[in-house]
């Protein structure tokens, strides 16, 4: 589970770099957002993603993933997925 969080964080950084260098792929971004939603929806309480995430929210989402991972480690948030 921690590895999945780290994987999505790394993907977010990769997408941000691609956007910066004008190599942005909308389908890759949408797949990443879907994976983030799936992972975060298994947490209790569920962290809130932006309503309509765009590439401008990448840093915010990466920070949310990192913060959630730390809260799970400190038992402030529970991961219900298996």
Q: Residue 82: which pLDDT band, with cuts at 50, 70 and 90?
A: low
How far, in Å, CA of 79 to CA of 29, rounded? Answer: 24
List residues bridging with 78 in a β-sheet.
Answer: 44
Q: Which pLDDT tens digit goes with each residue over 33-70?
A: 999 999 999 999 999 888 888 888 999 999 999 999 99
Nearest Cα to Cα of residue 68 among 43, 51, 49: 43
Q: Which pLDDT tens digit goes with each residue over 12-30?
A: 999 999 998 988 889 999 9
List residues bridging with 79 in a β-sheet.
Answer: 43
Distance of CA 44 to CAs 21, 71, 76, Å?
36, 11, 9
């Amino acid at each position: 589970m921690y590895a999945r969080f780290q994987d999505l964080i790394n993907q977010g950084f990769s997408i941000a770099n691609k956007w910066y260098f004008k190599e942005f792929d909308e389908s890759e971004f949408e797949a990443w957002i879907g994976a983030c939603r799936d992972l975060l929806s298994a947490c209790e309480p569920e962290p809130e993603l932006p309503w309509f995430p765009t590439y401008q929210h990448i840093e915010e989402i990466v920070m949310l993933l990192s913060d959630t991972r730390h809260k799970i480690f400190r038992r402030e948030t529970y991961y219900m997925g298996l």
